[in-house]
Structure 1
Amino acid sequence: MIRSVLGFCGGHGPKVLFIGVFLGLAIPDLAALLRPHIGPIVGVLLFLSLLRIEWQAMSGYLRRPFSLIALLVWLLVISPALIMVLLLPLPLPGALETALILMAAAPPILGASAIALLVGLDAPLAIVAGLSATLLAPITVPPISFWLLGVELEVSTYEFMLRMGLVVGGAFLASLLVRFLAGTTRLRSAAREIDGAIVLVMLVFAIGIMDGVTQTLFTRPSTVALWVLAAFVANPLLQILAFLVFIKLGRSRALTAGLMSGNCNMGLLLASLPESTDYDVALFFALAQLPMYMLPALCLPLYRRLLPASQHST
């Protein structure tokens, strides 16, 4: 029974995520129950992604670091500066401007590799760049947030790096142990079930981060509508810009760069923002999960159209 459920979720990942992201809004009590577990969920998601991909492909990007470095500069430095410039002529609320720039400054979600697996993109690139950006985020996000917004993050660089190191290091060690005990062949045969587990873990995260959003939807519907619209504009805009910038690397890698650029790990920032930060910033971080979980399913026909040609160009 469990294997059947995991197999179904693995075979229909983008569609399951599309539907499941609304559970947190429809069942607010469930969102409140899962919210305290968001932190460990990130580590579990990374662990499952490490089980699913071929590590030899990851090492290839480390041996050819130029494109990786260029992608990291884009993700952590150029993207937030570009968003700030684009927002200058727009009469948006201050909290929304802050949230959009912080979103662009954040590293990609660690689940980007999982989404890349589900839609057929370059998962090794997603996980190498995602991990590298996450480890660099404590160095880049505080000064960028201060320079662009005048916002000082309360968490220290050492504390932030230690927290991320525990998450990343724990996931790596656990995946090494499972790989040693299970073997590569058995992991490959369980690929569909691992994909299904990834989908379920991502659902738990999406439900938990929606805690409190439903109440805001009823009390301030116009604000929620504007925030959702901004999220559905910013996410694909960043994806398109990254795709155009990195198209010379091949379509598969360019699409993967776009996926990482638009799907940012705002959960990391929630823990480090000062208590005086406007609640509306956190509200945007929650609502920005909607395009993260809905766009992969909507973009599947586009990926299928573009990827066959990309396989010959990379």
Structure 2
Amino acid sequence: MTRLLTIIARNGRWMLVAGLVGGVLLPGLASLMRAGLFPLIAAILFVSVLRVDPAQIARSFTHMRRDVPLVLFLQLALPLAVAAILHLGGVSGPLASVVILTLAAAPITGGAGLAALTGLDGMTALRLLVWGTLLLPLTSMLPLQIVFPGAAISPLEPALRLLGVIALAGGLAVVVRQIWRPGPQSDAIVMLDAVSALLLAALVLGLMDAIQPMLLRDPLQVTEMLAAAFALNFGLQIAANTAMRRAGSDPAVGGAVALMAGNRNLALFLIALPPASLEAMMVFVGCYQIPMFLTPLLMRGYYGRAVRH
């Protein structure tokens, strides 16, 4: 069993690829996994925090002065700036709307796990997830009104629900870690890495249940949305990483910020959006999972070069 977990931990990036492929080829299985997304999210958060040394968690609160302005820029200033550019350029429609919503969304829940698989600082990713979710009801007010003028839309309820999951899963992990203190290179950490990879693969499988029907119905639209998703996701990561490096940030920390800048929890908005708008946006939501969960495979070399230099 230990050998199997070691193999899974070393090949965690390929587990995410398996989840993506399974989501496209097996929509029935993906639908079953989708029903358990919230328990999966809680388990991923638990394992991500459990992997972190308690002293590192305590030190994380000292970064508030940097984290909060970063979140305000990423989730408020950036979507408003892009919305203004799109308006001045005469660009509108579902794609423009979903780009603004993506930029206004909080970082993805599995960001700490993705950061670990990419060789970046998972604690930074976790902090940005917490602050991004906490501030989401405030930061999303103007972007939502731009996309849906006059509509009474608020992500408050889903954001509070996710914050509750973060508090419960993270708090339990902190308590367990205070009792159980494995070494940084121990078999226990390898086991946690393997479990994290399996949980992330299950999560991506559950988020991909709508891709196959979309692909069969309108392959051209899916191709266009997929190209837009890759451009937005990787473009944001590269731009943010470049900015963090020029600011003198530690490469592993700056890379984690960049990873979270490009990978956003657009699904949180789905609960709050008008039903009529969901169908057009679900194409992009499904496509956005692909660059998101391919990040550890396709971007690890890019971030690795930054870390080495």
Q: TM above 0.5, one fold?
A: yes
* CA distance 1:123–1:264, shift in 2 (3 Å): same
Using structure 2 for the length normalisation, give the TM-score: 0.90
| Alignment match of 1:172 (pick from 170, 173, 192) | 170
Once residues 123 and 68 of structure 2 are traced to their aligned partners in structure 1, the CA distance between those partners, rounded to angstroms, is 15
Pairing 1:1-314 to 2, within 5 Å after superposition:
1=1, 3-88=2-87, 94-150=93-149, 152=151, 154-155=153-154, 157=156, 159-185=157-183, 188-247=186-245, 248=247, 249-309=249-309
Distance change >3 Å, CA 255–CA 151, structure 1 → 2: farther
Range moving further from structure 2, 65-74 or 201-210: 65-74
What is the CA-CA distance between 1:85 and the residue it aligns to?
Answer: 4.1
| Identical-residue share of aligned pairs (%) | 27
Q: After superposition, give the CA deviation of every residue in 1:227-254 in whole Å (9 maximum; x if it has no partner).
A: 1010000001111221233221232222
Q: Give 1:6's aligned amino acid.
A: L
Shift in alpha-carbon separation, 1:131–1:155, aligned structure 2, 3 A: same
Asked whether the 8 Å contact 1:106–1:265 carries over to 2, the reply is: yes
Work out the CA distance in 1 between the residues paired with 2:152 and 2:178: 40
Distance (whole Å) between structure 2 residues aligned to residue 104 and residue 43 of structure 1? 24
CA contact (8 A) 2:183 2:189 kept: no
- What letter is aligned with 1:14? R
- Contact 1:80–1:101, Cα closer than 8 Å, also in 2: yes
**Aligned CA distance change for structure 1 residues 17 and 239 (closer, same or farther; 3 Å):** same
Q: Is the 8 A contact 2:104 2:143 kept in 1?
A: yes
List runs of 5+ in structure 1 lacking aligned partners: 310-314
Counterpart amino acid of residue 297 in structure 1: L
SS at match of 1:243: helix
- Counterparts of 1:61 and 1:183, CA distance in 2: 19
- C-alpha separation between the residues in 1 aligned to 2:261 and 2:131? 14
The 2-side partners of 1:240 and 1:209 are apart by 25
Separation in 1 of the partners of 2:166 and 2:152? 21
TM-score by length of structure 1 reads 0.89
Report the AA paired with residue 270 of structure 1: L
Q: CA RMSD in A?
A: 2.3
Q: State the 1:114 CA deviation.
A: 0.9
Say whether the 8 Å CA contact 1:145–1:151 is kept in structure 2.
no
Deviation at 1:110, TM superposition (A): 2.0
1:7-38 deviation line (CA, Å, top 9, x unaligned) = 22211112321343111001111111111111
Native 8 Å contact 1:142 1:153 kept in 2: no
| CA distance in structure 1 between the partners assigned to 2:151 and 2:41 by the alignment | 24
User: How many aligned positions are there?
Assistant: 307
Instruction: Measure how far apart 1:152 and its partner are.
Output: 3.9
Q: Secondary structure at the match of 1:276?
A: helix
- For the structure 1 residues 151 and 189, does the alpha-carbon distance in structure 2 shift closer, same or farther, using more than 3 Å as the test? farther
**Deviations 1:71-121, CA, capped at 9 Å, x for gaps:** 112221122124324544777661111111111111111211111112221
- Structure 1's 232 and 92: CA in aligned 2 closer, same or farther, altered over 3 A? farther
Deviation (angstroms), 1:186: 9.2
Q: Does the 8 Å CA contact 1:50/1:175 hold for their aligned counterparts?
A: yes
**How has the CA–CA distance of structure 1 residues 35 and 185 changed in structure 2, closer, same or farther, with 3 Å as cutoff?**
same
Give the whole-Å Cα distance in 2 for the aligned partners of 1:243 and 1:172: 27
Secondary structure at the counterpart of residue 135 of structure 1: helix
Provide closer, same or farther for how the CA distance between residues 102 and 53 of structure 1 changes in structure 2, counting only shifts above 3 A. same
Whether the aligned pair in 2 keeps the contact of 1:216 and 1:224 (CA below 8 Å) is yes
AA at the equivalent of 1:245 = A
Contact 1:95 1:278 in 2 (8 A): no
CA shift, 1:155, in A, is 4.7
Rounded to whole Å, the distance in 1 between the matches of 2:120 and 2:206 is 27
1:43 shift after superposition: 1.4
Please report how far the alpha carbon of residue 165 of structure 1 lies from its aligned counterpart in structure 2 after TM superposition. 2.8
Equivalent AA in structure 2 for residue 116 of structure 1? A
